[in-house]
Amino acid sequence: MDQGTQRRSYRRHFIIVSILVAIVAIISIVGLWAVPTFPIASTQAITVDWLFDLHLAVIGFLFALVMVFMLYILFVFRRRPGEEGDGDHFEGNTRLEIIWTVVPLIVVLSFGVIGAVTLRDVTAAQANEMTVNVTAFSFGWQFDYPEQGVEKATALKLPVGRPVHFKLKSLDQDVIHSFYVAEFRVKQDLVPGVPTELRVTPNVEGAYRVRCNELCGTGHTNMLADVAVVNQADFDAWVAEQKAAVSPERLAAMGQELHASQGCIACHNVTGEPGGVGPTWKGLYGSERQFTDGTSGVADDAYLRSSILASQERIVAGFAPVMPQNYADVLSDQQVAALIEYIKTLK
Ligand code: CUA
């Protein structure tokens, strides 16, 4: 093969490979973009998804580049029957080496800059922010609204379109939790002793969920909290309801929800079945209790209150002192009252 023929042959291979790379890249990118994800429910999510799609585009192109070149070489330049000689020998190609060093360098540096700008955008303080204090514990969440005067809510209620400034802290000393709502796209770890913050502007009304995003122990999978993004009128009504005096029936219903959401259910059943980690709540109210120190008492309001808030003071005979001791920090007075009202209904 003379030099001119060989050059034309190289050019032909190069054109074919370029076309194949373009086709495979487009199919890969469109395919990656079509993978379903959680819907978007915050303005930060729009920015994050844009950056994510940009990454997927580069990933799709690189995948096509590597796969097409590799498969093309494997098939087109394979050794055919009767071919005994060595292939062509190449030594170095300065132009190619400069291209495959400089182009990736520019791409990586560009992503560094774009990433930094995006991070600045999604963490920027907004006008008219509403503060919500988030407290994580093993294994649950609670939310305080200092501006609205709502304390220790077990679910998150947010008005649509209003920027929220979450201030996060953990009651634990030994594990890391992480505040994450998939539809908001942003997340923040809660590190013991280190207050952290997160900014979210919910922009779509709906029901979502906080899911703890760090493996934090046996209750990790149940470390959930409901999130409701609602219109301003519904939010105001909710705030008013949280602060209003509550009927015993409503309290008992709240207690039933807390029994599940705060993990009481893991140790205290309400069916009276024996063998629980802690005493059953069925028939508990007004019953006679025998304690490990030999004393006894009646399970009245005061007893139930101290059993929740200072559980280690008196242990019911036959049970181990394993109940968490942080409920004075975790539960509001109203929530303790709600649990007691609920226990009263379990006759
Ligand atoms: Cu908290 Cu996982």
The separation between CA 138 and the C-alpha centre of its own chain, rounded to angstroms, equals 15
| The pLDDT of residue 248 | 82
| The pLDDT of residue 119 | 94
309: tokens are 């808030």
| Residue 205, Cβ density class (10 Å: 0-12 exposed, 13-18 middle, ≥19 buried) | middle
Check whether 1 has a pLDDT greater than 70: no
Question: pLDDT grade, residue 268 (50/70/90)?
Answer: very high
The separation between CA 68 and the C-alpha centre of its own chain, rounded to angstroms, equals 37
3-state SS, residue 94: helix
Nearest-CA residue for ligand 1 atom 1 is 177
The H-or-E segment that residue 266 falls in is none
Mean pLDDT of 86-92: 81
CA of 218 to the centre of ligand 1 (A): 9
Known catalytic residue: 319? no
User: 122 with 200: CB under 8 angstroms?
Assistant: no
> Ligand 1: which residues within 6 Å by Cβ?
139, 177, 212, 214-216, 220, 223
129-186 per-position pLDDT tens digit? 999 999 999 888 999 999 998 888 889 999 999 999 999 999 988 899 999 999 999 9
* Residue 324: inside a domain: yes
4-41 per-position pLDDT tens digit? 888 888 899 999 999 999 999 999 999 999 999 899 99
Mean pLDDT of 320-333: 83
Whether residues 305 and 336 fall in one domain: yes
User: 199 with 129: CB under 8 angstroms?
Assistant: yes
What is the number of the ligand 1 atom nearest to the C-alpha of 215?
2
CA of 200 to the centre of ligand 1 (A): 20
* Residue 168: inside a domain: yes
Of the candidate ranges 91-105, 142-156, 169-183, 318-332, the one whose mean pLDDT is the lowest: 318-332
Q: What's the count of helices (H) and strands (E) in the chain, helices before strands?
A: 8, 12
Range of the domain at 144: 130-243
What is the number of the ligand 1 atom nearest to the C-alpha of 175?
1
What is the pTM (predicted TM-score) of this model?
0.70
Residue among 238, 255, 224 nearest 335 (CA) = 255
| Structural domains in the chain (count) | 3
* Residue 88: inside a domain: no
Known catalytic residue: 139? yes
What is the number of the ligand 1 atom nearest to the C-alpha of 221?
2
| The pLDDT of residue 20 | 96
CA of 262 to the centre of ligand 1 (A): 14
| The pLDDT of residue 144 | 93
CATH number of the structural domain spanning residue 314: 1.10.760.10
Mean pLDDT of 269-283: 90
What is the number of the ligand 1 atom nearest to the C-alpha of 176?
1
CA of 170 to the centre of ligand 1 (A): 11
Whether residues 107 and 136 fall in one domain: no
Whether residues 65 and 138 fall in one domain: no
Whether residues 159 and 208 fall in one domain: yes
From 137, 143, 166, 184, active-site residue: 137
Give the chain's length: 347
